[in-house]
């Protein structure tokens, strides 16, 4: 039986699919408040913006901080279709995100459960609660099909 995705993760997948249509790596992200209300949503835009930091996570963190008028996203949750990299994990920590939900693991560039395991480092000053594997198969399939089409 397939579990229904939380609404913020469903929207993150919409953003990932839109990114793929733009030729971007299909990763989508959403910031929601504690009640689940969507504050910001984005998909990768590194190619479009010619900006290596324009990962979906970075874009939603920037937009949520702007909208909330604070560099701290205390009480906010981040939903992202792929395990965050080290850059995004650091931003999540600095923003004091309450919970991180992600879809597919990223054995190559992920830094939450793979690689640097950023939140487990002694130098990490804030670690969110982490929930992985939310929509994992859908996220893996989306990425696999995207890269297969480019080979």
Contacts of 9 (CB under 8 A, 6+ apart): 30, 79, 81, 101, 103, 134, 135
First CA to last CA across the chain, in angstroms?
33
H-state helical runs in 40-135: 46-49, 56-68, 86-94
Q: What tokens appear for 26 in the block?
A: 């299909």
**Residue 108: CB atoms within 10 Å:** 9
CA distance 118 to 123: 9
User: Annotated catalytic residue: which of 7, 57, 63, 83?
Assistant: 57
Is 57 known to be catalytic?
A: yes
CA distance 99 to 142: 24
Residues marked as catalytic: 57
């Amino acid at each position: 039986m397939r579990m229904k995705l939380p609404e913020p993760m469903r929207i993150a997948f919409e953003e990932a699919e839109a990114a793929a249509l733009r030729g971007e790596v299909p990763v989508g992200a959403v910031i929601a408040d504690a009640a689940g209300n969507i504050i910001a949503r984005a998909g990768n835009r590194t190619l479009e913006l010619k900006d290596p930091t324009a990962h979906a996570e970075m874009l939603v963190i920037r937009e949520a901080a702007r909208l909330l008028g604070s560099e701290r996203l205390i009480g906010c949750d981040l939903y992202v279709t792929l395990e965050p990299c080290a850059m995004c994990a650091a931003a999540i920590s600095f923003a004091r995100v309450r919970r991180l939900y992600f879809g597919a693991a990223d054995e190559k560039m992920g830094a939450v459960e793979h690689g640097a395991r950023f939140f487990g480092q002694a130098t990490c000053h804030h670690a969110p609660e982490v929930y992985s594997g939310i929509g994992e198969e859908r996220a893996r399939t989306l990425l696999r099909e995207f890269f297969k089409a480019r080979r």
